[in-house]
Structure 1
Amino acid sequence: MLVLRPVESADLHQLQRLARESLVGVTSLTDDCERLRERIEQSCASFEKSVQSHGQENYFFVLEDLTEQRLVGCSEILATAGFTEPFYSLRNRPFTSACRELNIEHGVPALSLCHDLSDHTLLRGFHINRMLERTPHSELLSRARLLFIATHPQRFAAAVITEIVGYSTNEGHSPFWDAVGQHFFDLPYVEAERLCGQQSRGFLAELMPHYPIYVPMLPQAAQDCIGKIHPDGQEAFDILEREGFETNSYVDLFDGGPTMCARTAAIRSIAQSRAGRVQPGCSIDARGRYLVSNDSLNAYRAIVADLDYTAGQPVILDADMCAVLRVTEGSEIRLIPL
């Protein structure tokens, strides 16, 4: 059985293995032991903290194969994207110019550095073992974060965003970065992503241009990358699109990948999930597959389970499910169909 749970100090070395396997562009998951240790410590403190509104908390989850005692994925929630410093992105909107004498009005797409999204909750760090891609456990890894938000809404903002990794070649070249960021940072794309993962995003404000970048003046290859998803990032996009997330006018600074956004209360796994009470049982006449989580904070657990669920009735869980979820008779859980 696979279970999603909060990260622990003992996960460091396995987490570093996942970081080495992760896609370039997942900047929150870097192959740096000290940075990962710091991220784990921040997460453990966040799960222990008493919170009445969203702040700088970082909730780091891992997906564990209990049979093999091996981590096979990870994902995160940053309660506030720009709590300690601005969260920078590029706003892609037309710049309109007009001439009354010639009766001409023309809009030109332009990219502008901004931190409009700083107060939003940020989903990040999604990575799963390739053998589990396009399986219910990918859904578990991504959507169980949303069940956590549904259970602890006071800890998060009224809107949630995520940055989907943009296009780059198998050799690690990003046409968007080569045409834009390379001129201001004098770094290869892979190195810039690594630097951003190890440090804060504050250096971006010092080096990126504060005037609009006119899209038609970029090479066609770079223009084609704006809003384009890396093939390995498509599943993360698809899962959240089904949850009600939409692309907007913001793109990533490094590779031009799309930013997705949703009102928290309207997200499917938040709006449509249901709370229920546990009833232990020996056998289950399964009629559907569900994501199921407990209502804990620092002992949060979530699994994929085949259940016979009827709204308003107790939820029958077998002994293994109860043990993994750490629940007993009468415990409150949250569930939603896959």
Structure 2
Amino acid sequence: MSAWVVRPAQPGDLDALQRMARQSLTGVTSLPDDRASLERRLAQSSCSFASAVTFPGEEEYLFVLEDLSSGALLGCSGLQANCGFAQPFYSFRHEVFIHASPAQGIKHKVHALALCHDLGGNTLLKGFHIDANLQDATAAQLISRARLLFVASQPQRFATQLVAEMVGCTDEQGHSPFWDALGSHFFGLDYAAAEALGAFQERTYLAELLPHYPIYVPLLPESAQEVMGQVHPKARRPYEILLAEGFAGERYIDVYDAGPTLEAETAQIRSIAGSLVTQARIAPRASSADAPAWLVCNEGSSAFRALTVHANWLPGRPLTLSPAEADALQLGEGDSLRLVRL
């Protein structure tokens, strides 16, 4: 049986979430190390899971990864139903301008960045964290992909496109070469302070402070150009999981650290397009690590649960769960479930 289960975060998870926030990379502003802010996010998440939703609005959903044997929380991830609902969602968009002089026989393509809010209205994947000892375990896939199964089970709650901002590169002192070259000149703040500002305030100030004219990339220092679209080494695991799901990021970067913003059509994401619905059959069984691994969830909202199951399952048949697995998933005999290959 799986060692972990994914479930909606609860108010009692506050201490564990704050511990995860302290361990998170600078730049993961959706998991701030601030107790009052985390309390608000837990309350908003609980309300979102409990609400009867017919279209994506201001809802935010926070999931946690729980160790089934100890009850310890080892990871979290989130979804913002509509990242442009309450305020603009700003990014830098890659542009190419042609500068030409026919008389001189000169023609150049010049790379530029333009501040935009093109991605507003999409569903945002956010707040990923996993215990360092589980980075390469199936637990990392479980906490990342379980939320995608939730999207598949509750499509009315989410947009037709999903996006994810990946943390960009910083140096050993936590400085962002991109921010130092660009944003710091308009904000008068270092990278960590600017990211903290974004965690606690609406981001309308970005349009007020950042330049509205195209930023010509060749004029930036090479250190800033080199990190554009690059992922922080400690964020590679969630990045690789999303790439395997069909996400791609070539046109947009984060305004703070130039990390790539990934995009995918919701209906084309692997865990959504490839997931199937069947019924639960509960019976004693010996789980075999040699059997295929499945990511399995119930189709509830507030009662959502997901875990991994090793089973020789064939489409069109019920999935046999042990009593312990069924209990962890809060499923009864004949209840509907959704699954996809791990």
The bucket for the TM-score relative to the shorter chain is: over 0.9
Equivalence for 2:339: 335
Find the residue that maps to 2:126 and give its secondary structure. Answer: strand
* Residue type at the aligned position of 1:3: V
Equivalence for 2:152: 150
Q: Is the 8 A contact 1:303 1:325 kept in 2?
A: yes
CA offsets 1:308-329 (integer angstroms, 9 cap, x no match): 2111001000011001100010
RMSD: 1.1
Q: Is the 8 A contact 1:284 1:307 kept in 2?
A: no
Q: d(CA) in 2 for partners of 1:284 and 1:107?
A: 62
Q: Return the offset for 1:248.
A: 2.3
Q: d(CA) in 1 for partners of 2:54 and 2:105?
A: 55
Q: 2:184 aligns with which of 172, 182, 185?
A: 182
Q: Is the 8 A contact 1:32 1:198 kept in 2?
A: no
Equivalence for 1:18: 20
Find the residue that maps to 2:36 and give its secondary structure. Answer: helix
Q: Return the offset for 1:31.
A: 0.2
How many residues get paired?
338
Q: d(CA) in 2 for partners of 1:119 and 1:212?
A: 23
Find the residue that maps to 1:245 and give its secondary structure. Answer: coil
CA offsets 1:13-43 (integer angstroms, 9 cap, x no match): 1110110011111110000011111111111
* Residue type at the aligned position of 1:230: H
Find the residue that maps to 1:195 and give its secondary structure. Answer: helix
Q: Return the offset for 1:285.
A: 5.7
* Residue type at the aligned position of 1:288: P
1:133-144 pair list within 5 angstroms: 133-144=135-146
Q: Return the offset for 1:262.
A: 0.5
C-alpha spacing 1:69/1:285, structure 2 compared with 1 (3 Å): closer
Equivalence for 2:174: 172
Q: d(CA) in 1 for partners of 2:286 and 2:151?
A: 28
CA offsets 1:139-182 (integer angstroms, 9 cap, x no match): 00100110000001111111100011000012111101100111
Q: Return the offset for 1:96.
A: 2.2
Find the residue that maps to 2:251 and give its secondary structure. Answer: strand
Q: d(CA) in 2 for partners of 1:2 and 1:201?
A: 36
Equivalence for 2:293: 289
Where does the alignment leave 5 or more consecutive residues of structure 1 unmatched? none
Q: d(CA) in 1 for partners of 2:91 and 2:193?
A: 18
Find the residue that maps to 1:13 and give its secondary structure. Answer: helix
1:251-262 pair list within 5 angstroms: 251-262=253-264
Q: 1:27 aligns with which of 19, 26, 29?
A: 29
Q: d(CA) in 2 for partners of 1:103 and 1:158?
A: 46
Equivalence for 1:312: 316
* Residue type at the aligned position of 2:194: A
Q: Return the offset for 1:188.
A: 1.0
Equivalence for 1:5: 7
Q: 1:279 aligns with which of 278, 281, 289?
A: 281
1:88-99 pair list within 5 angstroms: 88-99=90-101
Q: Is the 8 A contact 1:181 1:254 kept in 2?
A: yes
Q: 1:205 aligns with which of 207, 228, 235?
A: 207
Find the residue that maps to 1:12 and give its secondary structure. Answer: helix
Q: What percent identity do the matched residue pairs reach?
A: 46
Equivalence for 2:229: 227
Q: d(CA) in 1 for partners of 2:205 and 2:4?
A: 39
Equivalence for 1:217: 219
Q: d(CA) in 2 for partners of 1:30 and 1:235?
A: 20
Find the residue that maps to 1:248 and give its secondary structure. Answer: coil
Q: d(CA) in 1 for partners of 2:108 and 2:55?
A: 44
Q: Is the 8 A contact 1:308 1:316 kept in 2?
A: no
CA offsets 1:76-132 (integer angstroms, 9 cap, x no match): 000111111100010111122333444543221111110000011100100000011
Equivalence for 2:132: 130
Q: d(CA) in 2 for partners of 1:326 and 1:305?
A: 14
Q: 2:69 aligns with which of 57, 67, 70?
A: 67
Q: d(CA) in 2 for partners of 1:103 and 1:297?
A: 63
Q: Return the offset for 1:201.
A: 1.5
Where does the alignment leave 5 or more consecutive residues of structure 2 unmatched? none
